[in-house]
Structure 1
Amino acid sequence: MSTPKDLPASLSHAFEKAIYRVHSPQGDIDVRIGQLNHPLNQLLEQENSQGAAILTACNPGAQICSRAFNDAVQESLLRDLQKLNLRWWPAVNLDPVGKWPDEPSLLVLDISLQQARWQARLFKQLAFIYIPANGKPQLHQVQQRLPESNQADLNSSVPF
């Protein structure tokens, strides 16, 4: 039985040190993993949001892609969020040391952790940020493949 592997330390460190800049109606808010953000939490409370996620469809699998590709997949993410009747604010993921290009993202309001994980997995992201109501932003890794034991269980339950 295999278990999901953690992100490489350098990639995990990059996610944790990134600045997630949300362009809210009240102005820009810089979000950092593990740091309580009172202005953001106040805005989420005003919006009656039970939780929020910072999601992107850009650069799947942490592989830098062309702007045209990233624009197309980001547009697909927006369409998915519209179908789910979810609200969002534009955002951008920033590398404070400048090794990684700025990455368009969205702060999605009132999304559950499970919905956020599904969207991140759908767009082949390795991680996403989740902010519980009045909580600290948390990095959540996304398992792109099911462990072998789960895949065997799924295969055995296929009716054909």
Structure 2
Amino acid sequence: MQTAFVVYDIVIRKLETAYLQTRYVVEVEETEVAFYINDEQNESFDELLNDYKATTWAFITACNPFSKVLSNDENERRQCELKNYLTTANHKFLRGRGEDSSGNWRAEPSFLIFDIDENQSNEIGRLFEQNAVVFGEIYKKPKLIWCR
């Protein structure tokens, strides 16, 4: 039984390392604003939040549920479902993507969701079968929220 916990712990650490090394990019009209989870202060990102009058946010994808790699078509379908969910719930959001800095996996389309709380972020992550989501508050360091 202990072996299963050790293996699980190793998997979680690898996932966490991948999330921490990911470059999160938000698409804003003709430009892009990027951040990492470990960013202490990101003036460009805080300025974006101010522009949208947002104090909290989450960065969420519906792609590759529980890190299972899916086809582009299936990921696109899942992203459409997430977009419809956010629109129906009247969330303000922008398109984005998560880029693997090591280049081991392709960028995942995502959404930056404004004015959402940590619990809502976690719920959406669980609904769309994600291991984790990124949550943050303006002027504060982003954090990884585990959904499982």
TM-score (norm 1): 0.82
Q: Which residue in 2 is equivalent to 1:17?
A: 21
Q: Aligned partner of 1:11: which letter?
A: L
Q: Which residue in 1 is equivalent to 2:122?
A: 117
Identity %: 28
Q: Which residue in 1 is equivalent to 2:88?
A: 83
- 1:23-63 CA distances to partner (integer Å, 9 max, x unpaired)? 12472111100202111111212211120110000000011
Question: What secondary structure is seen at the aligned counterpart in 2 of 1:8?
Answer: helix
Q: Which residue in 1 is equivalent to 2:105?
A: 100
Q: Which residue in 1 is equivalent to 2:37?
A: 33
C-alpha RMSD of matched pairs (Å): 1.6
Structure 2 unmatched ranges of 5 or more: 1-7
Distance change (3 Å), C-alpha of 1:67 and 1:26 = closer
Q: How many Å separate the matches in 2 of 1:64 and 1:33?
A: 22
1:51 aligns with 2:56: yes
Higher helix proportion (structure 1 or 2): 2
Q: Which residue in 2 is equivalent to 1:134?
A: 139
- 1:60-86 CA distances to partner (integer Å, 9 max, x unpaired)? 001110111101111000011001111
Structure 1 segments (4+ residues) deviating >2 Å: none
TM-score (norm 2): 0.88
Q: How many Å separate the matches in 2 of 1:140 and 1:44?
A: 20
Structure 1 unmatched ranges of 5 or more: 144-160
Give how far 1:118 is off: 0.6
Give how far 1:112 is off: 1.2
Task: Figure out how many residues of one structure are paired with residues of the other and give that number.
Answer: 140
Q: How many Å separate the matches in 2 of 1:104 and 1:12?
A: 19
Q: How many Å separate the matches in 2 of 1:113 and 1:103?
A: 21
Question: What secondary structure is seen at the aligned counterpart in 2 of 1:40?
Answer: helix
